[in-house]
Amino acid sequence: MDGPRSDARSRQDTPSDPPTLSLGIHRVLDGFVRHPMSAEFRFDPGFPLIVTLKLMAEEGGSVTWRISRELLHKGLHSVSGSGDVRVWPARSGDRVTAWLLLDARDMSALFELPVPPIDAWLEETYRVTPPEAEMDALDWDAFLTEVLDAPGPTDLHH
């Protein structure tokens, strides 16, 4: 579920929507070398099944991934995911962290995430849209357009 985010939305953000979570994270190379990066986690109640994660390198490049909200939440506390996105808990000294592994084509990247701020932010998203209400809030046409990065529905009344 990766790729650029479209502007399709089922409703506008409201003041009660969770704010964007901006964090410093690390990309881990060779298991030991850590490169600092910035990450932005966004939640749109119009697309409650996904979290949009924007990863930004210090050099200015960025990439955006869409990750299952449930997969991310579960992965902070136990092994979660398979295929392109996997998350599992870890410890780094005294800090509670999680590993995020992203696989795309022939490349993969491993990131170390701080669990407490992400966990608190996800809990806020669940207050806005509880798991049992995810399907009620979903605009299927907009969701499929968003996930598949397809053009919007065509107007057949020309």
Instruction: Please report whether residue 117 resides in a domain.
Output: yes
> How open is the CA angle 131-109-143, to the nearest 5 degrees?
35
For residue 76, the domain's CATH number is: 2.30.31.20
Dist CA 38 CA 61 (whole Å): 11
pLDDT digits (tens, 9 = 90+) for 33-82: 999 999 999 999 888 889 999 999 888 789 999 999 999 999 999 999 98
Percent of the chain scored above 90 by pLDDT?
53
Query: pLDDT at residue 5 above 50?
Result: no
Lowest mean pLDDT among 19-23, 33-37, 152-156: 152-156
Question: Is residue 107 situated within a structural domain?
Answer: yes
pTM of the model: 0.75
In a domain, 88, yes or no: yes
Residues 11-30: b if buried by 16+ CB within 10 A, e if exposed: eeeeeebbeebeeebbbbee
Q: State residue 143's pLDDT score.
A: 64
Q: What is the pLDDT of residues 104-115, one digit of tens each?
A: 888 899 999 999
Q: What is the domain extent for residue 124?
A: 21-131
Query: Which tokens go with 111?
Result: 């990131």
